[in-house]
Structure 1
Amino acid sequence: MINNQAPAAPPVRDAAPPVQGSAAGRFVIGLLLLAFAGVTGLFGPLLVMASDNCFEGEARTICSVGGQQIVGNLPVAAAFVAALLTVVGMGSRGSVGRCCLLAAPCLLALAWVVSLAIAGA
């Protein structure tokens, strides 16, 4: 005797739910970015000391007043903006939070690259 009344097996679904970042992960990444912003804001302006060996008439960018102001102020401004982006990224979910958490280290790295380029050239 064949039982045609047997319950059917539930269908197998291939679509997995999308992976979302956890709040703890955003918090840890945010703390690391805030530490990086703090280091940038505290130690980045010290690159102005590269102008100590400047003499009158030197053509290097760090020997000009404008170059020294850029090297002194850019890391502080970048650290402030990156800290704001990090806090927004830690508090937001979705694409806005991810974009803020990705933009913060890019901004800090750009500030370091520009400051080091001016101080070293």
Structure 2
Amino acid sequence: MINDQAPAAPSVHGAAPSVTGSAAARFAAGLLVLACAGVTGLFAPLLVMASDNCFEGDARTICTPGGQQLVGTLPVAAAFVAALLAVVGMSRGGPVGRGCLLAAPCLLVLSWVVSYAVAGA
């Protein structure tokens, strides 16, 4: 016996938000941050060469061993931390991923600003 009075199955709507766009954007932003971290880690320590024109008794910060150490190591450390933040940002979604992807370039810019300030002062 066929029951024509059976309720129809509820319809399924394909209105789920697209995850592909946000994942692709996170990946692209992460790759860009990784590239900037690589450039920072390779080239920013070369600012130590600003101490080439130092002479005996020069009071500039770049002419002190501490200033040279700061300009040499700060960008490398910042690049390493920024690369870690970029990888976390690419792999995690939501506010944690966005926060990591926003913090990484800020850290790189801060390391460049401090290095230029010490090298140019």
TM normalised by structure 2 equals: 0.83
State yes or no: 1:61 paired with 2:46: no
Find the counterpart in structure 2 of residue 115 from structure 1.
115
| Ranges in structure 1 where 5+ consecutive residues have no aligned partner | 1-16
Find the counterpart in structure 2 of residue 49 from structure 1.
49
Q: Tell me, what secondary structure is at the counterpart of 2:57? A: coil
Aligned residues: 105
Find the counterpart in structure 2 of residue 38 from structure 1.
38
Question: After superposition, where does 1:77-116 map in structure 2 within 5 Å?
Answer: 77-116=77-116
Which amino acid letter does the alignment assign opposite residue 63 of structure 1?
A: C
Instruction: Give me the whole-angstrom Cα distance separating, in 2, the residues matched to 1:29 and 1:68.
Output: 32
Question: After superposition, where does 1:9-48 map in structure 2 within 5 Å?
Answer: 22-48=22-48
Q: Tell me, what secondary structure is at the counterpart of 2:102? A: helix
Deviation track 1:71-112 (CA, whole Å, cap 9, x = no partner) reads 000000000000000000000011100100000000000000
Instruction: Give me the whole-angstrom Cα distance separating, in 2, the residues matched to 1:115 and 1:18.
Output: 43
Deviation at 1:49, TM superposition (A): 0.1
Instruction: Give me the whole-angstrom Cα distance separating, in 1, the residues matched to 2:46 and 2:101.
Output: 26
Instruction: Give me the whole-angstrom Cα distance separating, in 1, the residues matched to 2:48 and 2:98.
Output: 33
| Ranges in structure 2 where 5+ consecutive residues have no aligned partner | 1-15
**C-alpha RMSD over aligned residues:** 1.6
Percent of residue pairs bearing the same amino acid type: 77
Which amino acid letter does the alignment assign opposite residue 84 of structure 2?
A: L
Call closer, same or farther: CA 1:93–1:80 in 2, change over 3 Å.
same
Which amino acid letter does the alignment assign opposite residue 29 of structure 2?
A: I
